[in-house]
Structures are given as structure tokens and as C-alpha cells.
Amino acid sequence: MEPFAIKQAAFITSVGLGSAYPEPSPAGMEIAMVGKSNVGKSSLINSLCNNRKLAKVSSSPGKTRLINFFLINQAFYLVDLPGYGFAKAPKAEQQKWGQLIEAYLSSGRLRHIFLLLDIRHGPTAEDKQMFQWILYYGIPFTLVATKADKLPRHKRAPGAREAARLLGAPPAALPYSSETREGRAELLEIMGNILGDHISLQNPKTTIDIDSSL
């Protein structure tokens, strides 16, 4: 089987607190990205999808205030959750963001979540709270240490492991750089495995080419 590749990616809709989620994707699967404001979620999504204009990138932290759904390969949703921990946002606004994220985590729609951590800094209190939410709702997860290009190469893997350790997670995190695409092939492989496992569970006797449109 060929390595998993994102061949098509399209923005579908944005959802706010109390709004209806889109109809399930053809594969009935959703993978989400979450992390603090300015951790590089939009850049990572654009890097993965090979489209610099797919997710809006802003120099102002806290720009994403809605849940954004992207349809990948006409098969499953890649979901961009609002960034958290933006200190300049009003408390009421921060509470709404938290309610929005928690409502989605508890919706039962999510198959896997990528928790993004800045490789240069230790996890924040909000990162740790998000991790506890992920554990509470029993969502399978992968830790991704963003902005890996900001560290010397020999410090990237140790930095990613240390971020995971400080979070209280298993000592495994994937160093990723949206600038150099370090970690991109590995993250795509993880996504392909998640989709393949999901399809196998849904259709145990059916073999589907996960690189093609479903």
C-alpha cells in the first residue's frame, strides 16, 4: 500500500458554541488539532495539506474562536479547535472557548486528537488541563512538539520528550516544523494508520484504498 497522502483538502464550515456540527464525513471519522494560542496549529494544518491558504494564519494569538472543519480526501474531517490560554482575551470569552472545546470533546465524534506543544517551552497550566480533558473523555492522542526548527537539531528529540514528560504523558512526542516539514511524513503516517484502523473496525471484511476518495 502506498504511504498515506493528503490529496484533497477543503474547508467545510465553522461551528460556534450551540451551533450544529456538520453531517458526519463519508468515513464517519474526525481527527482534531488542539493547542494553546500561537502554538502553530494553522501553520501545521497548511503544511500537512500542502496548502498555505487553507487555514488562516494570524500573527495575533487567539484569532481562531470557532471550530473549523476541513474535509480531507473526501473521506474524513480534520478539525481545528480554538486556541486556548490567550491571556488578553476577556475571561468570559475564555470561558466560552473552554465550553466550546469541552462540548466537542464530549460529543463522541472524535476519533483521535493531536495535542500541540511548543517545543521551546514547558507545558502551560492550560496544556495540562487540556491533557486531563483528553484523558477524561478517553480520546486517543498524539503529542506534537511544534516549531522544532527553532531548536538545534540535536536538541529537538530530547526537547519533545521533555515536553511530554512535563505534561505527565508517556515520553513520546513528535518534533514538527511547518517551516522545514520535519515530522510531516511521520504525522501523515499516523493519520493514515488512524484512518485505516477506523475503516477496519467499521468494515472488517472490506479493504479500502485510504489514499483515494471514499
Query: Digits of tens for pLDDT over the chain (214 positions)?
Result: 688 999 999 999 999 988 999 999 999 999 999 999 889 999 999 999 999 889 876 554 445 579 999 999 999 999 999 888 765 667 777 778 888 988 999 999 999 999 999 999 999 999 999 999 999 999 999 999 999 999 999 999 999 999 999 999 887 899 999 999 999 999 999 999 999 999 888 875 544 444 444 4
Spatial separation of the C-alpha atoms in residues 160 and 173, rounded to whole Å: 5
Distance, in Å, from the CA atom of 183 to the CA atom of 133, rounded to the nearest integer, reads 26
Q: How far is CA 5 from CA 37, 52, 130, 145, 205, in A?
A: 27, 16, 29, 21, 23
How far CA 9 is from CA of 48, 106, 198, in Å, comes to 10, 25, 19
Q: How far apart are CA 145 and CA 159, in angstroms?
A: 8
171, containing H or E segment: none
> Of 139, 125, 200, 202, which Cα lies nearest the Cα of 168?
125
Write down the pLDDT at residue 207. Answer: 46
What pLDDT, on the 0 to 100 scale, is given for residue 55? 86
Query: Which pLDDT score, from 0 to 100, does residue 87 have?
Result: 56
Q: How large is the greatest C-alpha to C-alpha distance in the chain, in angstroms?
A: 52
- pLDDT, residue 144, reads 97
Please tell me the pTM assigned to this model.
0.89
Query: Is the separation of the CB atoms in 3 and 187 below 8 Å?
Result: no
Per-residue CA distances from 21 to 55, 155, 190 (Å): 18, 41, 25
9-200 classified as CATH 3.40.50.300: yes
